[in-house]
Amino acid sequence: MTDKLKQLARSSVIYGLGNYGVKVVGFLLIPIYTRYLNPSDYGIMSLVSSFGQALFIFLNLGQSTALFRFYYEDDTPAGRERVIAGSLWIVFLISTPLTLITLAASTPIASLMLGNPALAGFVAIGTVTVACRQLLRLPFAVLRANERDTQYATWSIIRTALSAALAVALVVGAHFGVRGVLLSSLLAEGTCCVILVPRIAGALRRGWAGPEMRAQLTFGMALVPGMMAGFVLDLSDRFFLRRYSNLSEVGLYSLGYRFADIISFVVAAVQLAWSQFVFGNRRSPQAKELYSYAATYYLAGMLFLILGLSTLAPEILRVMAAPAFERAATVVPIIALAYLCEGLCYIATIGIMLQRKPIIRSAAAILAALVNLALNVLLIPSYGMLGAAWATLAAFMVQMVLQVTVALRYYPIAYQWNRGARVFGLALAVYVVSLFVTPVSLPLAVAAKALLLVSFPVALWAVGFFEESELEQVRQLGAGLRKRLVPSRA
């Protein structure tokens, strides 16, 4: 069992770095962004990014998933090339015209979204960046389908590193501000497109791939409503904040979200590896026990990360960001818990996965999105970004409860509810205590909160959270480390 859980962790790291390393880099660039951009600039950057994510759903039309799905159905090189050709034809015939239409509408979009038609250039840059990104998804999907993990991670790191280097050069060196941030993403995506897309373009020599295109388009379009619901859950609150407040509030909220994105990085990484883990072990006699333990470890690990991030967020912001951004720390724990709920929607819904019932996920996501929209309208006018954060958490909780309830009917698993309740209760208790740590000085506040974090696993041991078999494995690991570090005596 331990070896299988280790393999899950390894795959999570590889795919997480490949897909969401850009979020980590964005986090590391906070000291630069918050000193060269004011909260309003950060709000503009966030709104353009959110618009780009919504646009990506319509340009991509679920083709990243569709290509992955149909690629496996044919074992012949010719058949797989026709699958790739089908996706490329969809890009040329549907995605490209949609990109041109969006570019033509940049001015009214900027007026509606940013409140200033003069910012249409930002919308145009974001649109072209998304067009490159959705095209680049195809070679990346082929690398995943062929299980070329190393190449996949390498190219993802190259793209992320290039974007970060260009951002520093354009924002710090050239003083381009928001335009520099947006241009850095465009140049990085475009460069990788020029290198990687020709590697799969040879599939077009198979000619017109009408049947493959229709099959992939039908499959991918069915995913769009669920993806749009996910967009509403994650990002629609920025537009409500812009409507009911101002760009500065959007910027502060977006920075708080950026901190919580560290949690989403882990959530997304595990999701990418989870399908392989579930399907690879479904025939094992211990499958349900394995899934249950994995869920418990996931919850405990995530809560420890969330506790650390939420507890230290005010101090980290004082170091990383300019003083004008410090209020962003208030939304970090709320958004981090929302991401935990999103992760549990995937981890604890094995029944939906094994029964191949994606419509249930989509239906739950759509209902949660409606809840989110209603709460945004109710809470944001009075409570600003805190209202947006609580609306997000409530919506993700609704989605989680619905999906887990249905999944357990399809595939009952004896989850370790008592262990989960203990770890959640202790995490909450430690966080509440941390609120009473007064910042006499930054070093003392960090030291006090660090001691609280160390007390968390000790408290788990004290209340009997760890099983004897788990403690024995820790002892064996410690003994092995001592043998390596302490030379044996002759």
User: Highest mean pLDDT range out of 22-31, 139-148, 227-236, 447-456?
Assistant: 447-456
- Which comes out higher in pLDDT, residue 423 or 156? 423
Sequential DSSP letters for 165-188: HHHHIIIIIS--THHHHHHHHHHH
Q: What's residue 182's pLDDT?
A: 94
- Flag whether 489 is in a domain: no
The pLDDT of residue 477 is: 65
**% residues pLDDT > 90 (the chain):** 40
Residue 189 lies in a domain: yes
Q: Report which of 189, 299, 303, 309 is spatially closest to residue 258, judged by C-alpha positions.
A: 309
Residue 204 is classified by DSSP as G
Q: How far is CA 314 from CA 272, 317, 327, 445, in A?
A: 31, 5, 8, 10
Residue 490's pLDDT is what?
A: 44
- Report, as an integer, the average pLDDT of 423-446: 89
pTM of the model: 0.78
Name the residue with higher pLDDT: 468 or 408.
408
Residue keyed to tokens 């989509």: 362
- Is 119 a member of any domain? yes
Each residue's pLDDT tens digit, 14-53:
555 555 556 667 777 888 888 898 999 999 999 999 999 8
pLDDT tens digits, 269-293: 787 777 767 877 778 888 888 889 8
Q: For position 129, what pLDDT does the model report?
A: 95
Is 70 exceeded by the pLDDT of residue 75? no
Q: Supply the pLDDT for residue 441.
A: 85
Count of CB atoms situated within 10 Å of the CB of 6: 10
The verdict on residue 389 lying in a domain is no
Helix, strand, coil in percent for the chain, rounding step 5: 90, 0, 10
pLDDT score of 174 more than 80: yes
| Range of the structural domain that residue 79 is part of | 14-223
Write down the mean pLDDT value for the chain: 84
155 against 379, higher pLDDT: 379
Q: At what angle do helices 178-201 and 149-168 cross, to 10 degrees?
A: 150
Q: Is the pLDDT score of 183 beyond 90?
A: yes
DSSP 22-71: HHHHHHHTHHHHHHHS-HHHHHHHHHHHHHHHHHHHHHHTTHHHHHHHHH
pLDDT at 285: 85
Q: What is the mean pLDDT of residues 433-445?
A: 85
Alpha-carbon gap, residue 154 to 139, rounded angstroms: 13
326 within some domain? no
pLDDT tens-place string over residues 305-356: 999 999 999 998 888 888 889 899 999 999 999 999 999 988 888 887 777 6
213 three-class SS: helix
Tokens of 463: 């209340």
Q: Does some domain include residue 449?
A: no
Domain membership of residue 241 (yes or no) is no
The count of structural domains within the chain is 1
